[in-house]
Amino acid sequence: MAGESLLYSWIGVVLYFILIIAVTIKYYAKIKSLSDFIVAGRSLGLAVTWGTILATWYCSGTALGGAMMAYLYGLRGVIMDPIGSGLSVVIFGIFFVSTLRRLRYLTISDFFRTRYGPEMEIASAVVQILGYIGWLGGLLMAQSIVFEVLLGVNYEIGLYAATIFTAIYTALGGLLAVAILDFLRVFIFWIAVWILLAIGIANVGGLGALASLGSDAFSILPGKNFEYLGYVGFFGILYYIASWINQGLGSLSAQDLVQRALSAKDERTSRNASILAGVSYWIIGLTGGALIGLLGRIIVPNLEDPSMVMVAVAERVLPPALFGLFITGLLATIMSSSDSAALIPPSMFINNIFPYMTKREISEALKLRLVRLLTIISTIGALLIALYLPHLYFLTQMAWYLMLFVQAIPFIMGIYWKKANRIGAVAQMVFNIVAWIILGNYFYNQTNDVWAAFYMPGPLVLPIGFIIFIVVSVLTQKSHP
């Protein structure tokens, strides 16, 4: 990176870190209970609720990953994220959030305890704790890559500094400080990527250059012979359907989404903020990720590392000051997801697992001290797992996808079907997991692609799991109404 661009990048990053410290100090003293820490005391207005949902979901995977997938596959490559992810937020806002907000839960596992009993509560909490630890480890390493590649900091120094800083400000500020920061981060990165998009389009001679890529680059339908992401025929169809349902259904009951919706001051605010965030996510995800990836086909063709296409486009077209804004925005969007992921494992452990481990009631003050301590420990632990325990890290990535098989069907049916019961929920969970492992092994042997093995079983497993849920719930109504 040129010296002037590096200087402006550091100025932006330092100012951003000062902002984080100031917001954390301001809101630290306002957190008096576990409710304040986990759901911001259910006090957030429309703008902040909208901003925190949007910023949490718009992470480096949507920005850098979306640009890479569009660079390689066109808009087909971004069906899972942001198209499927945005769909999940909109569906959640229309059909589910009002019920959850009305019941004043702290976590989604509270819903499973109330609706199905402790087995589903613990299963939901364990799967999500593991899943978010895995996500957090990846995000922390992404922060360190920004420090090393774009800011010239030694990898290990950047890695541990980013981790400790994230752990401390998240533990002190809780969701209240994180939500305020999220609201501000949305605008930092939104402005940065739209400036990049506008200058990039001007650089290639206008929108006509994008149109010259051909209609196939903008299609979200499978290609010839049901081709999708390099697979054709039956495998292509499965992968295509899985890309819609993985996030579209699997994230409906994800704690990062539910937590922010539960933090709104009332049902109406929660519903409207969720719908607006889903629509905004489509807009920013497609314009601030996918379209920049398509521009990369023109500006930086034959790139050796497609995962860095957004950064390569920015380096090619932005002047130093605006490149500094872009780097600040990129780091901000990674951190917006990092602190969100850091909040969830300790919150769900203290709220949904710890009560089963102790026989006495503990005070709110003690719960708050414990959740803050665990936030620091679990954040550092997530990094160590990602760095030094690759097999365990891989299992945490599996746990993220298990959310779809463990809780998607019981969540949807638990809201809308009165006969849904504990036995049906447990039965479908056991079947889904076993079938997913068996089919995943088959698809891996056929493709030697671990992600195909993760995703392809979904369209086959879930319909059968749904039938099992219905049949078992009906047959066990008398014993478990």
Report pLDDT digits (tens) over 30-86: 999 999 999 999 999 999 999 999 988 887 678 888 999 999 999 999 999 899 999
Residues 428 and 468: beta-carbon distance below 8 Å? yes
Question: Residues 320-348, buried b or exposed e (16+ Cβ, 10 A)?
Answer: bebbbbbbbbbbbbbbbbbbbbbbbbbbb
* Cβ atoms within 10 Å, residue 436: 24
Among the listed residues 57, 3, 347, 12, the one whose alpha carbon sits nearest the alpha carbon of residue 186: 57
> What pLDDT score does 424 carry?
96
Report pLDDT digits (tens) over 298-336: 999 989 999 889 999 999 999 999 998 898 888 888 888
Does position 154 have pLDDT exceeding 90, yes or no?
no
Mean pLDDT value across residues 8-35: 90
Residues 6+ apart with CB under 8 A from 30: 36, 41, 176
Distance from C-alpha of 387 to C-alpha of 156, rounded to nearest angstrom: 11
Q: How confident is the model at residue 391 (pLDDT cuts 50, 70, 90)?
A: low
CA–centroid distance for 329 within its chain: 17
> What pLDDT score does 288 carry?
87
Among the listed residues 391, 402, 400, the one whose alpha carbon sits nearest the alpha carbon of residue 433: 402
Mean pLDDT value across residues 180-188: 88
> What pLDDT score does 392 carry?
63
Distance from C-alpha of 151 to C-alpha of 331, rounded to nearest angstrom: 11
> What pLDDT score does 2 carry?
58
> What pLDDT score does 426 carry?
96
Instruction: Say which amino acid occupies 255.
Output: Q
Report pLDDT digits (tens) over 167-179: 999 999 999 999 9
Does position 398 have pLDDT exceeding 80, yes or no?
no
> What pLDDT score does 258 carry?
93
Among the listed residues 213, 209, 229, 287, the one whose alpha carbon sits nearest the alpha carbon of residue 76: 229
Distance from C-alpha of 338 to C-alpha of 335, rounded to nearest angstrom: 5
- Residue 44 β-bridge partners: 264
Q: How confident is the model at residue 247 (pLDDT cuts 50, 70, 90)?
A: confident
> What pLDDT score does 107 carry?
95
- Residue 264 β-bridge partners: 44
> What pLDDT score does 333 carry?
85
Of residues 480 and 200, the one with the higher pLDDT is 200
Three-state DSSP class for residue 44: strand
- CA torsion sign for 5, 7, 8, 10 is positive
> What pLDDT score does 342 carry?
92
Does position 481 have pLDDT exceeding 80, yes or no?
no
Q: How confident is the model at residue 390 (pLDDT cuts 50, 70, 90)?
A: low
Of residues 140 and 199, the one with the higher pLDDT is 199
Distance from C-alpha of 198 to C-alpha of 291, rounded to nearest angstrom: 11
Three-state DSSP class for residue 125: helix
The chain-wide mean pLDDT, for the chain, equals 90
- Residue 231 β-bridge partners: 228
**Among the ranges given (114-118, 158-162, 165-169, 417-421), the one the predictor scored with the smallest mean pLDDT:** 158-162
Kindly give the interhelix angle for 390-416 and 364-388, rounded to the nearest 10 degrees: 130
Asked, as a colleague might, if the bond just before 82 is cis with ω within 30 of 0, I would say yes
> What pLDDT score does 396 carry?
61
pTM: 0.92
Element (H, E) at 311: helix 309-317
Does position 393 have pLDDT exceeding 60, yes or no?
no
Instruction: Say which amino acid occupies 450.
Output: V
Distance from C-alpha of 209 to C-alpha of 205, rounded to nearest angstrom: 6
> What pLDDT score does 112 carry?
97
> What pLDDT score does 152 carry?
80
> What pLDDT score does 64 carry?
85
**Among the ranges given (103-117, 179-193, 218-232), the one the predictor scored with the smallest mean pLDDT:** 179-193
> What pLDDT score does 1 carry?
53
Distance from C-alpha of 410 to C-alpha of 46, rounded to nearest angstrom: 29
